[in-house]
Amino acid sequence: MAAPHPETLQTAVVTGGASGLGALTVKALHRAGFRVVITDLISAPAERLAQELDLAGETAMAATLDVSKPEDFQRVLDRCVERWGSVEVLVNNAARTVVKPVLDIGLDEFNAVMATNAGGTFAGCQIFGRHFKQRGYGRLINMASLAGQNGGTATGAHYAASKGAILTLTKVFARDLAPFGVTCNAIAPGPMDTPAVRAVLTPDRLPMALAGIPVGTLGNPDFVADLVTLLAKPDSGFVTGACWDVNGGIYMR
């Protein structure tokens, strides 16, 4: 199947889309003309965001999804196809961590973080990738992290390991699906100016953190959301298997 015409309304599913960077991504995609499916573990915030974007529910929908359960991905995909006929974009954004020194992380805790972050990305790419392959078009966009590139432990070694795995999975799916009109790319943000980061970087710690960033500022999360939108568009088809670094120069290659 040929790529959809740029003016054709497309559907984008965002995991962990009810808050933080996920919510900014949902809003950016909706502004760009995509129908959006806001998925999250907790339904109420996702429902509120969907109603905020489109009270009539014609271009925004909420769905409960546990990314560690492949059957949840399939259920959301089936619901979208039933309602709108197809899905064109999946943004694997959902993630979790528990900040601990590497020597204090138990195996169960390590596996739980990996199951959500890397396992959820794998399941999403696999299940939606089958749909995209069958249609002959699709965009898979995975949220990685600077921690997965440089082995940073500020967010936990298990988090860093899971994000490193996402970078590898992105390349594997990109190679496998490229002949079928499907792209798969990753974005690796560094420290973003978000409430969560500001909670960690208290005023007394912020100057030291900024000193370690070559451009001297925290990143703008809205730019990351706009970058997702760029990669979601039909004319991004010549970009696949790439990792887009948004880190203020902390990691250069």
Write a three-state SS string for the chain. CCCCCCCCCCEEEECCCCCHHHHHHHHHHHHCCCEEEEEECCHHHHHHHHHHHCCCCCCEEEEECCCCCHHHHHHHHHHHHHHHCCCCEEEECCCCCCCCCHHHCCHHHHHHHHHHHHHHHHHHHHHHHHHHHHHCCEEEEEECCCHHHHCCCCCCHHHHHHHHHHHHHHHHHHHHHHHHCEEEEEEEECCECCHHHHHHCCCCCHHHHHHCCCCCCCECHHHHHHHHHHHHCHHHCCCCCCEEEECCCCCCC
> Which of 63-72, 152-161, 238-247 is the least confident region?
152-161
Span 56-91, pLDDT tens digits? 999 999 999 999 999 999 999 999 999 999 999 999
pLDDT classification of 152: cutoffs 50, 70, 90? confident
Task: Evaluate if residue 194 carries a pLDDT over 90.
Answer: no
For the chain, domains (ranges, CATH) are 11-246 (3.40.50.720)
What percentage of the chain carries pLDDT values higher than 70?
A: 97
pTM of the model: 0.94
pLDDT classification of 1: cutoffs 50, 70, 90? very low
pLDDT classification of 178: cutoffs 50, 70, 90? very high
The catalytic position among 67, 159, 165, 232 is 159
pLDDT at residue 8 in the model: 64
pLDDT classification of 30: cutoffs 50, 70, 90? very high
159 catalytic? Reply is yes
Span 86-134, pLDDT tens digits? 999 999 999 999 889 999 999 999 999 999 999 999 999 999 999 999 9
CA distance 77 to 169: 20
Give whole-number Cα distances, 165 to 27, 46, 117, 118, 231, in Å.
Answer: 27, 27, 9, 6, 20
CA distance 213 to 33: 34
What average pLDDT is seen over the chain?
94
